Structure 1
Amino acid sequence: MTLDTVKHASSTPDVEQPWAELGLKREEYDRVREILGRRPTGAELAMYSVMWSEHCSYKSSKVHLKQFSEKAPESDALLVGIGEQAGVVDVGEGYAVTFKVESHNHPSYVEPYQGAATGIGGIVRDIIAMGARPVAVMDPLRFGAPDHPDTRRVLPGVVAGIGGYGNCLGLPNIGGEVVFDSCYQGNPLVNALCVGVMRHEDIHLAKASGAGNKVVLYGARTGGDGIGGASILASESFDSDKPSKRPAVQVGDPFQEKLLIECTLEVFRENLVVGIQDLGAAGLSCATSELASNGSGGMRVELDTVPLRDSTLSPEEILMSESQERMCAVVEPGKVDRFLAICEKWDVIATVIGEVTDGERLEIFWHGEQIVDVPPRTVAHEGPVYERPYARPQWQDALQADDANALPRPKDDAELREQVVRLVGSPNQASKKWITEQYDRYVLGNTVLAQPEDSGMIRISEETGLGVAIATDGNGRYAKLDPYAGAQLALAESYRNVAATGAKPLAVTDCLNFGSPEDPAAMWQFAEACRGLADGCRTLGTPVTGGNVSLYNQTGDVAIHPTPVVGVLGVIDDVARRTPMAFAEEGQLLYLLGETREELGGSAWSQVVHDHLGGLPPQVDLERERLLAEILIAASRDGMIDAAHDLSDGGLVQAVTESCLKGGKGARLIVPDGLEPFVFLFSESAGRAVVAVPRSEELRFTDMCGARGLPATRIGVVDGDAVEVQGRFTIPLAELREVHEATIPALLA
């Protein structure tokens, strides 16, 4: 076949091209021709198709995502915000922390192990590209029905992939979530978060500046795995009957990535890099076009110099390949030899594949023939922008009217006890030890808190004890009932989880998992969630630093629950003063902070006991959340509380049970006057936490709560070896532990 050069494309305008097969719409293909003034070459068509995909261009979500910038609160801590590979915040003492969450949903359904493993690998490279050393990962996960046979295929593979890759990198996995719901049956959510640490002066950005500077591709060889992988898989409704929409999933090599990390950090230390970009979705198409468009000139690339694993790959395939463990750096000519020497030291393949030019074009050549000549911004940043139609679905009113508060409640204390045991042993509330024990949570020696604590916590400075806490949360059931409130509840829970450990929340990253943007109902859910999250971040003073949008999460025309996953990062000046969740000392007084209302819409109780979803989610009061956080942080700092646990899924009884099991101590609870025992135990009202207060600190603690106007109700004491609700029932910890820990292993046996 004759190579499709720029010259040939200019002289053959009527050649039929496979734009539809590559995921482009007719009007998008016409726009490419308009930009170029001719038809695209095959290589150009490949580049535009992957870079204008939903996953890479955010073409359906941009109009809503801009709220995160427009409504962003003032923040002295924010150093790098939306638009770079990951956000960066100042945490004090000259340290900066970068963190980000992304999705690898569809690849993880096709090939669970590699899909999840390369999700970890990709997010880690985003972090090292900012100049930081990765210090921890997290994994918010959603799977289908726990008893479905395919869940037994997907879940163990995903967990093995996350553990296999992260453990080999030597990165602790300090948190995340595991949620089961039949809505995720054909479309699991595998979100991955990484956090890294650097000094302020070590921040690096993705740009190619300085004519004559060299473009160096380094890392693994380029292969046929993942050609159009995430970029196309994540941009199309998932349909098992269309294998053509299931490109090869990327294959990861964590040992190569470990070498890449150390190599990259060393070239940073020696100040050898002008700009840098990891190769993730869209591979070289993304790296070259983004580096060029973010810089001050153009770029010329000799594509035939790219090291290959498969010599039969065409230029188009090389540009689209999403092979893992690769990065692209811009290096001054006088520093290239030293750069290559460091790569050789770490056994990392490195090749000069081009240079920065003083023009305004991205030009790519193949054995001397020009196959790409494009304005790089049109590839990387000026793709189509759609204002998709959206409308509140007709079924929303009926869903909200189906009030969970009206469901039948326990008839007597015996049934109340039975429902507590059922809740604690249900798949979503049960212990996830089977999963988390496959992850190394303490490698590197700086993990202070890890699952099942409210937040993961990492020590940054051994000298001062400075640390950061990170939590991720998201409740798709709440968001299905009200996506605006659901997004704010996800934010509030992550914020509360960070504060419960004693850390001050600083900033947000998000992974927005939704159905097809071509469905007005799914697009309404997305628009409402973005509005809710942007408004919430403004109120709480926590800017969104970046994140990911994952659309087309549906099988056929059945979408997942809208699932905005929100990660919050906070700072603590001394990790020795962190607050754990365990009730560990007999005689500690238990206080419920916040107000309990009859709020059961979307609750764990309604799901476990009645398999019901309806009504309204809990009310959101972000000013109350802020006040609660201030109390929790001050009480932790001043030694007024020994333990704290936020109240969320499962309500008070779930939180108390988890804290009792973690500490090996029981609790005697007293139902407050005027509160129905059932509501006391199962309500999921937001803005609440349960704390264990030493008797010596009770007066000081309650005075602080009273002075600041936060309701604080004494509800019991740490005592014995059972959870007892006085006058109602007693459940031995041994019974609770057995049902709590047996569920997941039994499901996966």
Structure 2
Amino acid sequence: MIEPTAKEIKDSKLYQKWGLSDTEYQLICEKILNRLPNYTETGLYSVMWSEHCSYKNSKKVLRKMPNKSDRVLAGPGEDAGILDIGDGQAVVFKAESHNHPSAVEPYQGAATGVGGIIRDIFSMGAEPIALLNSLKFGPLDNGKTKHLVDEVVAGIGGYGNCIGLPTVGGEISFEKCYENNPLVNAMCVGLLNKTDFKHGTASGEGNLIVYVGAKTGRDGIHGATFASDEFTDTKNKQRSAVQVGNPFIEKLLMDACVEIIEQHPEWVLGIQDMGAAGLVSSTAEMASKAGSGLVLKLDDVPQRETEMSAYEMMLSESQERMVLCIKPQFKTKVLDFFKHFELDAVVIGHVTADKQYKIYHHEKLVTDIPVESLTEDVPEYDRPEIEPKRIKENQSYHFQPQIESLENTWQEMLQRPNIASKRHFYQTYDAQVKANTLITPGSDAGVIRIRGTKKAIAMTNDSNSKYVYLNPYVGGQIAVMEAARNIVASGGQPIGITDCLNYGNPENPEVFWELDKSVEGIASACREIDTPVISGNVSLYNEYNDEAIYPSPMIGMVGLIDDLQKVTTIAFKNATDLIYLVGKTTDDYNGSEIQLQQTGSIKGDLSPLDLNKEKLHQDLIHQAITRNLVASCHDLSEGGLAVALSESAFENKLGFEIKTSLTNAQMFSETQSRFLVSIRPENKQAFEDLIQQDFELLGQVTNETDFKVATSDTSVSINGMEALNNWKGAISCLMKSKA
């Protein structure tokens, strides 16, 4: 291919196809370079100035997030965030989206999303210990969606299982708005000895830049630009922008990088993953952070395809690649070290003091631009925002369910795809590899023990986008607090979050308003429970034919369990244990599963969330667990009390007998700030003395499998085994049924 000249790029406006606006291109030409950028340079700016890499549309909003606490060792700006957990140890975690690639090539899109987030963790010097995911698809009523779900799940499981990391938690939901734009968010958690922490910087004139890992091919070129564009009937087939992963190389790369940092920390000055925008983003960001310049020689880059251009090599997003900055005296040792792992490792450049980014190809200088022009000179936009009309129109609407048969409604709710067991999917994932998993998928949070200590890490991710659609501010608060309740119910203390902010086109004022308000809600909830946002990802332009997805912030939260004796699950343990509902129940049906079940859509506003009450209930439950008063604990979310009771009974095939002041409808209310707790009878007085208010003793666990329920409206006996079979089998039946 003959590359267009700089003038031809300008005249044809080729840069527009790569995501640069006329204004941005003019800024590059007239303010930064004082000349026209050539083909390679234009490509570099297009990916580095994309939303996916620069956050040019969202920086203003992201600054509202709290990112500091006494535990924070590294926050936004690094490959992943780090929190101190005492005893010289730290937990490292981050979440990333791989939405567009997964829509086009679901297996590889999901697999490489997992691979990329794992590299973010070990690039910090940490050993990855667990994976989670948050998935959103269209309804399971057509073959295309079923294929998409199967392939995404297979990609996640295939990559994680091959690399030997347990997938311990996550969520999956189904809504019409995700039919053509699914969401695939992956999260990874790692452990780090604080002394092993490495920054992603390239500093020190004369120090060397080393390329390590798989060879570079033509896959994933312009992946960052692709992720920063919306889908239409004609623009969703860009398969060349999707990477191809190899988990076996990733396993070698992970083991090698963790070992070299742990055993030879003096050899490595900086390390960074080649993720979005590949070689350009990793090297430019490393140099920019250090205030340095770089010279790269692309003829030395390992290549798996012939006659690759500088443009292709710099923009390729081939997987399983890392960049290291090392001192020259350790060159031989470093290269030999990686050779032992059968990995390509070559010097491809060196650090300079002139702050220029220079690239040579076939001994010709093909790029000479200021490093910071790629990372710091990106325009930052202050987008207009408008409250959508639906917000005001729906404020006075209050949905009230009609329950003709409590038993029938109960059984029907357990079969809803958003509520039914997701075992059909997560059985693909190995949750027990490495034998450190204490709580596997299906509970409120996954829990991993820290070997050699009494401690464990609890982890979860949550994203109820229906709430955010109805009220972005309150919905953002709920996303954080539901994640926190999951951590608390598992015996942990929430300590920090990562996020994936999935929205439509930010140039649409209504979409930007949704983003802004939901982030304000997230920030207010994080401040209330002291959980700083230490890492994350923004994924915008999630649209199909100008129809945006629901605003979908995903909250990934980590908690610390300081004593393994505190690890708690949702499952009822013994007959005669007492069952308590902590928190008041009101008529909260807008955006609920019962509203969807009865009307097929969602409408209305949300009740304000009392953050003080939420925090109080979390603290009381944490204290009750700490005092060994709690046998089981489950937070109430989709489907309300009826679903929480059922899920708590299923694992050990127990039943319950309860009497409550709630109405039939309120059994499905989704009022926030509530927990379902079971305790031994001898702990009754101590538990009630601790909680004091806003609780109701519902009844007790039974050896019989039936669910005996007396509400203020009626009394029923529900066949618990039928309920279990309905809940367990609903997804499998939907996946097997003909579209």
TM-score by length of structure 2 reads 0.96
Aligned residue for 1:663, secondary structure, equals coil
TM-superposed CA distance for 1:80, in Å, is: 0.8
Does structure 1 residue 290 correspond to structure 2 residue 290? no
Identity of aligned pairs, percent?
A: 40
From 721, 724, 737, the equivalent of 2:705 is 721
Aligned residue for 1:197, secondary structure, equals strand
Q: Which residue of 1 aligns with 2:57?
A: 60
- Which AA in structure 2 matches 1:365? Y
From 347, 365, 370, the equivalent of 1:370 is 365
Aligned residue for 2:638, secondary structure, equals coil
CA contact (8 A) 1:514 1:553 kept: yes
Q: Which residue of 1 aligns with 2:110?
A: 116
What is the rounded CA distance, in whole Å, between the counterparts of 1:541 and 1:696 in structure 2?
Answer: 34
CA contact (8 A) 1:404 1:612 kept: no
Does structure 1 residue 694 correspond to structure 2 residue 687? no
Aligned residue for 1:19, secondary structure, equals helix
Q: Which residue of 1 aligns with 2:452?
A: 463
- Which AA in structure 1 matches 2:588? E
Pick which of 611-620 and 444-453 moved more. Answer: 611-620
Q: Which residue of 2 aligns with 1:135?
A: 129
What is the rounded CA distance, in whole Å, between the counterparts of 2:360 and 2:254 in structure 1?
Answer: 30
Q: Which residue of 1 aligns with 2:433?
A: 443
Q: Which residue of 1 aligns with 2:92?
A: 98
The within-5 A match list for 1:427-438 is 427-438=417-428
Does structure 1 residue 21 correspond to structure 2 residue 17? yes
Q: Which residue of 2 aligns with 1:585?
A: 574
After superposition, the C-alpha distances for 1:210-263 in whole angstroms (9 at most, x for unaligned) are 11110001100001111112x122111111313575543100000000000011
Q: Which residue of 2 aligns with 1:569?
A: 558
CA contact (8 A) 1:619 1:685 kept: no
TM-superposed CA distance for 1:265, in Å, is: 1.0
- Which AA in structure 2 matches 1:31? L
Q: Per the alignment, do residues 112 and 63 of structure 1 end up closer, same or farther by CA in structure 2, a change over 3 Å counting?
A: same
Q: Which residue of 2 aligns with 1:206?
A: 200
- Which AA in structure 1 matches 2:235? K
What is the rounded CA distance, in whole Å, between the counterparts of 1:421 and 1:235 in structure 2?
Answer: 42
Q: Which residue of 2 aligns with 1:35?
A: 32
What is the rounded CA distance, in whole Å, between the counterparts of 1:539 and 1:242 in structure 2?
Answer: 42
Q: Which residue of 1 aligns with 2:625?
A: 636
Does structure 1 residue 685 correspond to structure 2 residue 671? yes
From 312, 316, 327, the equivalent of 1:332 is 327
Q: Which residue of 2 aligns with 1:705?
A: 691
From 494, 512, 537, the equivalent of 1:548 is 537
CA contact (8 A) 1:467 1:574 kept: yes
CA contact (8 A) 1:505 1:571 kept: yes
Q: Which residue of 2 aligns with 1:261?
A: 254
TM-score by length of structure 1 reads 0.95
What is the rounded CA distance, in whole Å, between the counterparts of 2:464 and 2:10 in structure 1?
Answer: 51
CA contact (8 A) 2:471 2:606 kept: yes
Q: Per the alignment, do residues 246 and 255 of structure 1 end up closer, same or farther by CA in structure 2, a change over 3 Å counting?
A: closer
After superposition, the C-alpha distances for 1:362-407 in whole angstroms (9 at most, x for unaligned) are 11111211111111111023212111111001232223443223x5
CA contact (8 A) 2:477 2:525 kept: yes
From 652, 659, 681, the equivalent of 1:670 is 659
Q: Which residue of 1 aligns with 2:314?
A: 319
Q: Which residue of 1 aligns with 2:48?
A: 51
Does structure 1 residue 614 correspond to structure 2 residue 603? yes
Aligned residue for 1:20, secondary structure, equals helix
What is the rounded CA distance, in whole Å, between the counterparts of 1:147 and 1:608 in structure 2?
Answer: 15
Q: Which residue of 2 aligns with 1:185?
A: 179
What is the rounded CA distance, in whole Å, between the counterparts of 1:310 and 1:236 in structure 2?
Answer: 28
Does structure 1 residue 80 correspond to structure 2 residue 64? no
What is the rounded CA distance, in whole Å, between the counterparts of 2:387 and 2:604 in structure 1?
Answer: 16
Q: Which residue of 2 aligns with 1:248?
A: 241
Aligned residue for 2:435, secondary structure, equals coil
Q: Which residue of 1 aligns with 2:409?
A: 419
Pick which of 687-696 and 146-155 moved more. Answer: 146-155
Q: Per the alignment, do residues 142 and 104 of structure 1 end up closer, same or farther by CA in structure 2, a change over 3 Å counting?
A: same
What is the rounded CA distance, in whole Å, between the counterparts of 1:166 and 1:3 in structure 2?
Answer: 39
The within-5 A match list for 1:491-506 is 491-506=480-495
TM-superposed CA distance for 1:669, in Å, is: 1.3
CA contact (8 A) 1:502 1:634 kept: no
After superposition, the C-alpha distances for 1:60-98 in whole angstroms (9 at most, x for unaligned) are 1111111114xx5x5211111111111100111111001
From 226, 230, 233, the equivalent of 2:220 is 226
TM-superposed CA distance for 1:148, in Å, is: 2.4
CA contact (8 A) 1:43 1:372 kept: yes
- Which AA in structure 2 matches 1:434? H
What is the rounded CA distance, in whole Å, between the counterparts of 1:14 and 1:555 in structure 2?
Answer: 29
Aligned residue for 2:394, secondary structure, equals helix
After superposition, the C-alpha distances for 1:458-485 in whole angstroms (9 at most, x for unaligned) are 111x332211101111111101100011
What is the rounded CA distance, in whole Å, between the counterparts of 1:13 and 1:87 in structure 2?
Answer: 39
What is the rounded CA distance, in whole Å, between the counterparts of 1:695 and 1:361 in structure 2?
Answer: 71
- Which AA in structure 2 matches 1:540? I
Q: Which residue of 2 aligns with 1:390?
A: 385
What is the rounded CA distance, in whole Å, between the counterparts of 2:9 and 2:648 in structure 1?
Answer: 69
What is the rounded CA distance, in whole Å, between the counterparts of 1:486 and 1:129 in structure 2?
Answer: 33
CA contact (8 A) 2:590 2:603 kept: yes
- Which AA in structure 1 matches 2:115? G
Q: Per the alignment, do residues 731 and 12 of structure 1 end up closer, same or farther by CA in structure 2, a change over 3 Å counting?
A: closer
CA contact (8 A) 2:139 2:179 kept: yes
- Which AA in structure 2 matches 1:188? P
Q: Which residue of 2 aligns with 1:514?
A: 503
Aligned residue for 2:425, secondary structure, equals helix
What is the rounded CA distance, in whole Å, between the counterparts of 1:244 and 1:691 in structure 2?
Answer: 49
Q: Which residue of 1 aligns with 2:721?
A: 734
CA contact (8 A) 2:470 2:603 kept: yes
Q: Per the alignment, do residues 14 and 163 of structure 1 end up closer, same or farther by CA in structure 2, a change over 3 Å counting?
A: closer
TM-superposed CA distance for 1:423, in Å, is: 0.3
- Which AA in structure 1 matches 2:684? E
Aligned residue for 2:433, secondary structure, equals coil
CA contact (8 A) 1:233 1:246 kept: no
What is the rounded CA distance, in whole Å, between the counterparts of 1:427 and 1:243 in structure 2?
Answer: 27
What is the rounded CA distance, in whole Å, between the counterparts of 1:343 and 1:107 in structure 2?
Answer: 30
What is the rounded CA distance, in whole Å, between the counterparts of 2:140 and 2:621 in structure 1?
Answer: 35
What is the rounded CA distance, in whole Å, between the counterparts of 1:124 and 1:678 in structure 2?
Answer: 44
TM-superposed CA distance for 1:273, in Å, is: 0.7
Pick which of 189-198 and 619-628 moved more. Answer: 619-628
CA contact (8 A) 1:666 1:721 kept: yes
Q: Which residue of 1 aligns with 2:101?
A: 107
After superposition, the C-alpha distances for 1:279-300 in whole angstroms (9 at most, x for unaligned) are 0110011011101101142111
Aligned residue for 1:312, secondary structure, equals coil
TM-superposed CA distance for 1:12, in Å, is: 9.6
TM-superposed CA distance for 1:531, in Å, is: 1.0
Please provide the CA RMSD for this pair. Answer: 1.6
TM-superposed CA distance for 1:106, in Å, is: 0.8
TM-superposed CA distance for 1:14, in Å, is: 6.8
What is the rounded CA distance, in whole Å, between the counterparts of 1:734 and 1:545 in structure 2?
Answer: 44
TM-superposed CA distance for 1:17, in Å, is: 5.5
What is the rounded CA distance, in whole Å, between the counterparts of 2:35 and 2:237 in structure 1?
Answer: 28
Aligned residue for 1:444, secondary structure, equals helix
What is the rounded CA distance, in whole Å, between the counterparts of 2:87 and 2:708 in structure 1?
Answer: 46
Aligned residue for 1:389, secondary structure, equals coil
From 397, 400, 404, the equivalent of 2:399 is 404
What is the rounded CA distance, in whole Å, between the counterparts of 2:74 and 2:524 in structure 1?
Answer: 21
Aligned residue for 1:113, secondary structure, equals helix
- Which AA in structure 2 matches 1:35? I
Q: Per the alignment, do residues 617 and 12 of structure 1 end up closer, same or farther by CA in structure 2, a change over 3 Å counting?
A: closer
